[in-house]
Amino acid sequence: MSQKTLFQAIKEDHEEMYEYHDQYQRALQRADLDACARWANQLRWEIARHAVGEEIVVYPLMEKHLGAKGRELADHDRREHQTAKEDLYKLEGLDPGSEVFANLLNKMMQNLHHHNDDEEIDDLPLLEPAIGEAASKEAALAFKKTKKFVPTRPHPNAPNRPPFETCVGFIAAPIDKLIDVFQSFPHEDEMKSAKEELKHRDHAAVGREGATGE
């Protein structure tokens, strides 16, 4: 398989967020509170890493290569990330099986859908031609690698620009990972099933795009 572009890597993360939220909602509907907690943890873990990864890798590229427009888009995206981080922080003090938790999570996901659409429709289609395919693939690798060491929990009061965000990340990430050890996450078979659903969803989307293009 060829190396993903930055657009593909970011979109893949977005689709994973939606899938984890779907799994949470299904668990809530069947009143499986343990599964609710597992999928809520997985979703929060993914969103926290994704947001900081973008702030360290993607937004500086937008500012560097898209000039004033890039700075405007990046600042807008950072403000939306801040709202998501604050919501994630509030969720940590709530019961994943409660109505309050579910309502706040749904509100956050609605905001993230809008935010993610902006990135896929406006930001990345502007950035990728400006940096070229090779640089896009390099940025995708950097994004994936960065997600391995960034904090896995929300830190709304932390800086959201490198180099300060990077330094704080090195301090916070080990503590977050220690806390993660004591959290429940989806079982291996649950993750495998979710990944299969994502594949089917991707194939269906490709089929729709092909039919539209004919």
CATH of residue 151: 1.20.120
Q: Residue 181 and residue 185: Cα distance in Å, rounded?
A: 9
* 140 domain-assigned: yes
* 182 domain-assigned: no
pLDDT band at 153 (very low <50, low <70, confident <90, very high): low
Residue range 35-57, pLDDT digits in tens: 999 999 999 989 989 998 999 99
Longest distance between any two alpha carbons in the chain, whole Å? 52
Instruction: Tell me which residue range forms the domain holding 157.
Output: 6-177
* 196 domain-assigned: no
pTM of the model: 0.80
CB 77 within 8 A of CB 59: yes
* Per-residue pLDDT, 143: 95
